[in-house]
Structure 1
Amino acid sequence: MRPNPFLSTRSLCGGHEEDHLTEFWAAALDSCPTFREGYARFLLAAHAARRGWGAVHIESVATQVDFRGNVPDLVLGLAAAGGRSFRVAVEHKIFAKESRSGRSQEVDEEGVAGQLLRYLAVPEIDGVAFVRVWPQALDPRVLDHEKYIRPAEALHFLWWHFYPVLEACAAECPAVRWLKEGFARDGLTPPLGTVPPLHVPGDDERERENRREFAKLMELAAVRAAEAGWRTNFDQHGAELYLRRHPSSWAQRVLFSGIGQPRAGARRQTGLRVWVTPRKGEEEGALERLRPAVAAGLFRSPPELHRHPNGTVEFWVALSELLAGAEEAEAIRARFSSLAEAVLGCLR
């Protein structure tokens, strides 16, 4: 196998994986014009059109630029028609706690929001993009800011979004190939067109990989929840999506789990289990409030709702039922998103 400095030096970075990735990313942009053009087109084209910049290309790449104490990971110098120039800051987050451990801690959303808002307030910065491993809810002040670069169908960029650009250019430049191989090893690749087994007895690594793949398929569901005002985070290596801290919903928390079993039957089956826990005092009527979600036309046979003694309402649906006819990744993602929207619509 050909040497890969990106992978071979990662263990030496002493906990600074984000800086390590950023430096290799900058080197790839500097050394491969095709990658630079593809990256600029994917990251910037829609935002540049919205801002009236026209076609832009990356003229310079710098890391750790200090704007009076504000130091984004990557700063792109852009050139546009008419001699105009712009600067875009890109903040990188990788391997957050919820992607490394089975039980996650909630993401420090306030800290991230403060960081991004500070970058957005820097006069010399004309655009700010945010990239991380998992979807994260973001402060509306960030999302609504004219400088914020938001991708289609997402609140922010995810690392796997860039894999097709890496793949298209890997043969032309060693630095791009190194990144592509690293992304493939870490599972930062586009979602599969099937739901892999989420229980793999005797193979913990394969089980973790499969659960990370499941999280990619649940990404749009997480985005819809965040847009509706919920704070989202993945758990159990991506097999579970938690919703919390909605400012006005009657529900206290919601869980979508790919590893929950049906209430009857001892063997594990592939399905999705949904729990909705009401706020104190809202337990009465919670089951009836959720009934429209299971009658939303997503199922041939609507699943049965069950209420626990503590007021939590749950239902379980086999994936063969929920995903019938969905044979590609985007169709599966859309089906999970539709279920999430049906549930969210009952929680207002």
Structure 2
Amino acid sequence: MSTKTVPGNYFEDFSVGQQIRHATPRTVTEGDIALYTGLYGSRFAATSAATFAQSIGFERMPVDSLLAFHLVFGKTVPDISLNAVANLGYAGGRFGVPLYPGDTVTTTSEVIGLKENSNGRTGVVYVRSVGTNQDGETVLDYVRWVMVNKKDADAPAPETVIPDLPGAVAAEDLQVPFELTGAYDTELAGSPYLWDDYEVGERIDHVDGMTIEESDHMLATRLYQNTAKVHFNQHAQSQAKIGRRLIYGGHVISLARALSFNGLANGQMIAAINAGAHANPTFAGDTVYAWSEVIERIELPGRSDVGALRLRTVATKDLPCGDFPYKGEDGRYLPQVVLDLDYTVLLPRR
């Protein structure tokens, strides 16, 4: 039998300090933007209209921040999470230079932590991944952790190393890829509310819901070249405990971000992903809703044209968010809560 195929790494194949240079650089095209828009319906003006993007200082229209995230993430899957049970969370994500059509993304990762689970059949792998463009400039630098199957349950457990996860990205470390030199058109942006109009503690129900179809998430995983079996192989998943394909967690993040336009339309770009958890699984047929809370209003050093909002966006399945569902009295996420994302967006100031 030929051994030229690659089965992907299992938990016991990882070691702390391991460096991985991921295969298949990805050149971004106008088609990627069109497909991304078709999948999520994102309406943020800076990533929808070249004229608007140029009016606020971009050289041309950049791709959506989360499309950049997915392309960087997707490169890691064959080496990190091909044999995953689920992606669990994120920390310390910092966006760098904007990504434009024609740019090529390459990703590298370092294993920074390992912990075998008590069942002896799975373990958690912590990795720091960095995506760069063709000029070696950082597009995104972030940490994630993922539960991965063991190939051999009897394989000895590695020494447990749980890394110190980075906290929220500091204001001085946020990169602002645009500059307002003229009037900002709130009418074309879709909302009159700028950075100055939001208050810490304010909660926003984004009102709208979006149902996930099988075709949506399958197209998304292929678009990002995400090859994790739990997302695209129903034959394999039918033999697992859940019995169904899981929706890629990033797909839910993009849905929640698109829904957040209604209430946060001037949050043109994401500057950081501070923390995040996929609280419960999502499946095709679920309808995603979202609400957001303003955690912090951040003044950026040396900038009077742009400010930042640190937000918590919570996404639910089959549960409208009028009363801001989150956690129960026991401190655990409600079963309908599927995402708890702490991130920072950039908004124009008055």
TM category (shorter chain) comes to under 0.3
TM-score (norm 1): 0.27
Q: If the length of structure 2 is used for normalisation, what is the TM-score? A: 0.27
- Greater relative contact order, per chain length (Cα 8 Å cut-off, separation 6+): 2
Higher share in helix? 1
- Structure ID, larger Rg: 1
